Amino acid sequence: MLQQEATNCCLPRDSTRRVPRQHEMNPGGDAGRFPPYHAARNGTGAQHNDGRAVNQPPKPPPDFIRVRPEGMGKLVRRPISTSPLYTQYPRIQVLDGGDDKAGGMNGGVYVVQCQRSKRLYAEKVFRTDSSVYAQLAKAEIKVMRRLMHNCIIHYVDAYIREDPFEASVYMEHCDRGTLDDLIRVYRDKKKMHDQDRIPESFIWHAFLGLADALGYLQTGQSYISMPLEKNNRSDWKPIVHCDIKPGNIFLRSRDTPGSTKPFYTLLADFGLMGHEPEILPGGYCKSYGTVEFHAPELAFDPYPIGSQKGLMASPHTIKSDVWALACTIFCMCERDGLAHMDRTCWPPRSRRALGRMAKRPSLDITDTHIYSKYLARTIAWAANSDLSQRPDSWALVAKVKEQYDLWIQDPAWKSQVEVNGALPKEVTKEFML
């Protein structure tokens, strides 16, 4: 994937990885994934050992991404195939057998190996038992191929066969699981009265990058990272993810062996992005997404009654995505995957738990001696239960960056800043796939 050079902020691409210049091509990884294909001109007629002239660039390796010559240009990705790609990407490991554990639309998730490059990728197979699933699968594949951001999971290849319907998308393999896995590790520590917390520097790393990803979905522009393509903001149609939660944010190791930089945090699962809800009388619509991460305005107050069961009070919006991201970051701080919920409304998925009364009116960090006021107030602002007071994605990323800069300049947090987002090794080994 094309990368940018990060400064201060812990964006999920290695600082040694950069956007290549026009003469450089490669889809790759960290240092070494963007080798210059132009050779130094060592004299007229000079040749390499393979007989190629010094000033003649070598052929690009398998899996390259071509950058057009005009400025930053537009990345050219593989077209969506109309026939299966089994032989190009043989499966070597089952991550999910299609039993809904990794998402309702999944017909299976596998680790595959590209026959050309020998690199490992992940294959998501889509369910074929419904025409609705087929339409959602097509929409997800098309939007994944279109999206190009450092904090959004990278599309590699895909196919859609129409008759009989069958579809898969191939993406980068995230070997460290999800934020949900990370939170579970720390939740178990909390149960054992272990004082370990997720480092604030890693939380800022995730918050800043994911907020920038949401800003990109809204505008087609990146506030922080160097853009991987040029988009006309006036022509961009805002994208609402509709299912932001820890389980849909993937973690991946650095490609550079021995790197101490934080894992990449990547927003994934765009299956509901293409969902067009049917608006019913009263402005209601059928419920979709993960109800525990539905913003307050989506839930009935105090809870659904009668015919409201299975419905939402309003559809997902850009601001409901912001609320869900704030909840995700809050859960990291609290070492609890449902910390944003009012436990007095339990059990989960009960009528009370599905209502607005189950949403905590404000998200206030418990461990104020562990986490800074900068992080606490940014989370609280993004999770405002009043829709009119809550920021959209573009305003959010600007505020997160502002508060992050204040945090790194505060000498009281110097020791945390120096952690630089690294997670303890005894933690990371617990959830490596």
| Number of residues written out for the chain | 433
Q: Which of 37-51, 375-389, 394-408 has the lowest mean pLDDT?
A: 37-51
275 pLDDT band, cuts 50/70/90, is low
To the nearest whole number, what is the mean pLDDT of the chain? 83
Q: Which of 291, 269, 381, 388 is nearest to 329 (CA)?
A: 381
Of the candidates 270, 233, 287, 279, the one whose C-alpha atom is nearest the C-alpha of residue 105 is: 270
Query: Hey, what are 415's tokens?
Result: 């020791």
Cis bond before residue 302 (omega within 30° of 0): yes
The Cα 229–Cα 147 span in angstroms is: 9
User: For residue 347, is the peptide bond before it cis, meaning its omega torsion is within 30 degrees of 0?
Assistant: yes
User: Other C-beta atoms within 10 Å of 61: how many?
Assistant: 15
Written as six digits, the tokens of 4 are: 């940018």
Strand partners, 240: none
What is the reported pLDDT for 90? 98
Whether pLDDT at 293 is above 50: yes
C-alpha–C-alpha distance, residues 315 and 70, integer Å = 40
pLDDT in tens, 75-104: 678 999 999 999 999 999 999 888 765 566
* Averaged pLDDT, 236-249: 95
| This model's pTM is above 0.75 | yes
Mean pLDDT over 224-252 rounds to 87
pLDDT confidence of residue 23: 34
pLDDT of residue 30 exceeding 90: no
SS3 311: strand
Tokens of 277: 């809800």
